[in-house]
Amino acid sequence: MVKAVEEGMDYEALASDFLRALRGKRSQASFNRRLGKRSNVAYRWEAGLRYPTAAETMYVASRMGNDPVAALRRFHAMHLAGRAFAGAADDPTNLASMLAALRGDLPMAELARRCGRSRHTVARWLSGETRVRLPDFFRVLQEGSRSLLTFLACFLSPAVLPSARDEWARVQAIGDEIRDTPEALLLFVAMGLESYRQLSRHEPGFLGAHVGLTPEREAAALAVLSRAKVIRWNGRRWVLDRTEELDTRRYPDMYVPLKRYFAQLALERLDHVEADRFSWVLLGLDEAGLKELREAQRAFHDRLRDLGARNRRVEHIALVNMQAIPLRLGDGPGA
C-alpha cells in the first residue's frame, strides 16, 4: 500500500527490469532459445518496445527455473488469506480472478481512474476477457490493492530492480521502525479521529489518550510515522499523508511479533472495559468443523477490514483480537 510507487515508479520500466532479472546471467540469445523464440524477444521486452502478458511472464518465470505457483501462493497468503491460489500460474483466467479479488469493494470507475485507463478496459482485464500486459498487471496490483512490492518480493528481491530499489529500501526501513515501535500503528489509526481533526492546534497527549499511550510514547510513535512519511505537519497539527498507507502484510516476519503485541495489549486492557467486550468459547469439533471455524475466522477478518474502510468518520478506536487455536500441544500453524 505505497502510493508513492504510483507517483515515482514507471510501470513499463519496472516490467522491463523484472523481465531482465528473470533472464539473470543468461545471454539474450540463450534466453530466447530457452523460450523457443526465433526473434530477439528479450531485447524488445527489456528495451520497452513491447511486453508479454502477465500470463506469458509466469511461463517465462517457470522456464527460467522459478516456481511461479509457489510465489503466487505466498502472495495469496499475504493479501488474499483464505483464498489459496490453485491451478496453473500461466493461466490468464487465474490471474484475472486474483486481480478481481484484490480489488475488493473498490469501485471499478475509481480503479480505472487510478490506472489511467478506461473503465471498460480495466473491466475486461479483471473479467479475463482481455489478457493484461505485464506493465498494466503491475499497475492494477498497485492501484487496486497497493500490493505490487509484495508481489515482486514473492519472486525476487525488489532490491535488484533499479526502478523499485529505492522504494523497497524505504519500505523496509518503515518496517524496522514499526517493529521497534508498534504503537505507531495505533497512532496511525487515531490520526483519523474527527475530534483531533477539529482541534485548532495539535495538543500533545490528545491522540495517545484515545489509545492508552503516555505522552512520551505518543511522541515516539508520531516521530516514527513522520520519518516514514505517512503523516506530515501542516503547521498546526499532524495530518495523514494521503499518498501513503501502512500495510503490515508486506512484512511477513512481523506477523508473530505484532500478534503478540496486540494480544498483550488486549490483556492489559482487560480490567478496564466492560466484561461483555471480551468473550470466549470452547468448542469440540471434528476436522470438518475445525476447517469451517478457520474459514469463518478469515471471513470475519475480511469483514472487519471492510468495515474499517467504509467508516470515514472516526469517533472511536477499537481493537478486535481473534484467536482460533486447537489446544492439543503440537497443533501449530498448518495443523
pLDDT of res. 72:
96
pLDDT of res. 221:
93
Asked if pLDDT for residue 309 goes beyond 80, the answer is no
Express each pLDDT in 256-267 by its tens digit: 888 889 888 888
Per-residue confidence band for 334, with pLDDT thresholds at 50, 70 and 90: very low
87 and 208 part of one domain: no
pLDDT, average across residues 40-68 = 96
pLDDT of res. 276:
63
Report residue 255 CA to chain centroid gap: 13
Query: Closest Cα to residue 90, out of 108, 120, 68, 118?
Result: 68
pLDDT of res. 6:
38
Per-residue confidence band for 279, with pLDDT thresholds at 50, 70 and 90: confident
pLDDT of res. 55:
97
Contacts for 220 with CB less than 8 Å, ≥ 6 apart: 181, 183
Half-sphere exposure of residue 299: CA atoms within 13 angstroms, side-chain side = 6
Q: Flag whether 277 is in a domain.
A: no
**Of 161 and 2, which is predicted with more confidence?**
161
Based on the number of CB atoms within 10 Å of its own CB, is 28 exposed (0-12), middle (13-18) or buried (19 or more)?
A: middle
Domain boundary among 218, 240, 262: 240
Domain boundary among 110, 126, 161: 161
39 and 17 part of one domain: yes
pLDDT of res. 113:
93
Count of domains for the chain: 2
pLDDT, average across residues 235-250 = 75
* Cα–Cα–Cα angle for 117, 120, 126, rounded to 5 degrees: 90
DSSP 233: E
Alpha carbon dihedral 19, 24, 30, 33, in 10-degree steps, equals -40
**What's the whole-model pTM score?**
0.73
Express each pLDDT in 161-184 by its tens digit: 999 998 888 888 888 888 889 999
Domain boundary among 144, 161, 178: 161
Q: Give the residue numbers spanning the domain of 214.
A: 168-240
pLDDT of res. 305:
74
- Ranges 1-10, 104-113, 234-243, most confident: 104-113
219 and 157 part of one domain: no
118 and 205 part of one domain: no
Lowest mean pLDDT among 39-48, 186-195, 284-293, 297-306: 297-306
pLDDT, average across residues 76-101 = 88
Q: Flag whether 198 is in a domain.
A: yes
Average of per-residue pLDDT values in the chain? 87
| Percent of the chain scoring above 90 in pLDDT | 51
DSSP 79: H
33 and 179 part of one domain: no
